[in-house]
Amino acid sequence: MTNKNIAIILAGGKSKRFGSDKALFKTSPNATTNIERILSKIKNLISDIFISTNEVNKSKIHDLLNNQNVNLVTDIAPFQNMGPLSGVYSVLSNFRDTKNILLIATDYPWITSKSISLLLNNLNTYITNQNICHYTLSYFQTNINFLNNFLQSNPPKLSLFLKKLGCKPLTINNNDKINKQFVNLNRRNDMLTKNDMSEADFQKLLRIALTDLRIRRTLLENDIDEENDQLRTLEQDEHLEAIEQELRPIKKDFDHYQKFLNPDYDIKDKNSYINK
C-alpha cells in the first residue's frame, strides 16, 4: 500500500435503532467489541487508520484501544452530524493531498479480511451483495476540496458522493446459504441465529456439548462406584439415588445428541467455518 492509503472506521453513529453503542457492542460474551474486530481485519492492510467517533464514545474507544496505533476524530464544523461524510471530512481536514480512503462501518462485524483485500484491489468501488449496495464498505480517491465543494452544494448522502466520484459497484457473491459478513448490524435481530449456522459450526458445537456431557457423566459414574465400594447405609442409599437421578438426563442427552454427530467431519480442519 502507498502512503496515499488511509482507512476510516465509522464509529460515530447514535445507534438509536440498536439500543446501545454498536462500536462497543460484543456479538457474544466471549467476542471482542465490534470496533476491535474491524480494526483487527484492516491493521495489517493499511497503516494510517482513523476512527470517526462521537463525543459520548470517544473516551471509551480511546481507553479500549490505548495500545493501538490509531487516530480518533469527531465531527468538526461546519459539517457536523451529517452521517458518514462528516467523519470523512474530519479526517481529510488533516491532509492537503488526495487520499485513497478505505471506508468501513463498525457495524459490519462479520466482514472478512478477504473481502476487504478484494476491495483494496479495486479503487473507486463499493461492495454490493445480493443486489444490496453497501456504501459504507467502499474504497475511493478524493481530497478535502472536492468533499467541501460537494457538501456545500449537495445533500450529505454518501451514496450520492460516491457516484459523483464515479465509483462503481464491486459485486461479491458466494454459494453460501447466507452471506452474513454483509449484514449491517442495525438492530438486535440482525444477530446470528441457529438458522445461519453452517454444518461446520454445528458439528463443532455438537462435539463441545458431547465432551461436556461425557465429562459430567464420567464424574457421576465415578461417584457411584465409590459409593458402591463402601458399606451401605440409609443415608448413602439416598445419596446414591440422588446421583443416579442427576446421571439419567445426562445419559439421555448424550445418547440423543450423539445421533447428530457426523463421523466423517474433521474437527481439526481450521478452514471449516463458512464465515471467517
pLDDT in tens, 177-223: 446 788 877 765 555 566 666 777 788 888 889 999 999 999 998 88
Which residues contact residue 233 at a Cβ distance below 8 angstroms, ignoring those fewer than 6 apart? none
Say if residue 129's pLDDT is above 70. Answer: yes
Q: Which helix (H) or strand (E) holds 164?
A: helix 158-164
Q: At the topology level of CATH, where does 5-187 sit?
A: Spore Coat Polysaccharide Biosynthesis Protein SpsA; Chain A (3.90.550)
Q: Is the pLDDT confidence value at 1 over 50?
A: no
Q: How many residues does the chain have?
A: 276
Boundaries of every domain in the chain: 5-187, 199-258
The CA-CA-CA angle for residues 96, 98, 102, to 5°, reads 120
175 or 68: whose pLDDT is higher? 68
User: Which residue, among 46, 88, 43, 39, has the nearest Cα to 64 in the 3D structure?
Assistant: 39
257: pLDDT confidence band, cut at 50, 70 and 90?
confident
Grade residue 131 by pLDDT with cuts at 50, 70 and 90: confident
Is the confidence at residue 110, as pLDDT, over 70? yes
Measured between alpha carbons, how far is 136 from 162 in angstroms, rounded to an integer?
Answer: 10
In 3D space, the residue among 95, 75, 179, 176 whose CA is nearest the CA of residue 137 turns out to be 179
Residue 81: left if φ>0, alpha if ψ -120 to 50, beta else—which one? Answer: left
Q: Minimum mean pLDDT among 80-89, 104-113, 168-177: which range?
A: 168-177
Q: Does 130 or 8 have the greater pLDDT score?
A: 8
- pLDDT computed for residue 166 by the predictor: 97
CA 55-116-194 angle, 5° bins: 85
Cell of 24: 462497543
Over residues 63-83, the mean pLDDT reads 93
Residue owning grid cell 460484543:
26
Instruction: Of 59-68, 81-90, 227-236, 266-275, give the lowest mean pLDDT range.
Output: 266-275
Global pTM value? 0.68
The pLDDT of residue 227 is 77
DSSP output for 64-89: HTTTS--EEE---TTS-SSTHHHHHH
Task: Quote the crossing angle between the two packed helices 34-42 and 113-120, to the nearest 10°.
Answer: 50
- Could you report the per-residue pLDDT of 25-61, keeping only the tens digit for each? 888 878 899 999 999 999 999 999 999 999 999 999 9
100 or 189: which leads in pLDDT:
100
pLDDT in tens, 134-174: 999 999 999 999 999 999 999 999 999 999 999 999 998 76
Residues 6+ apart with CB under 8 A from 44: none
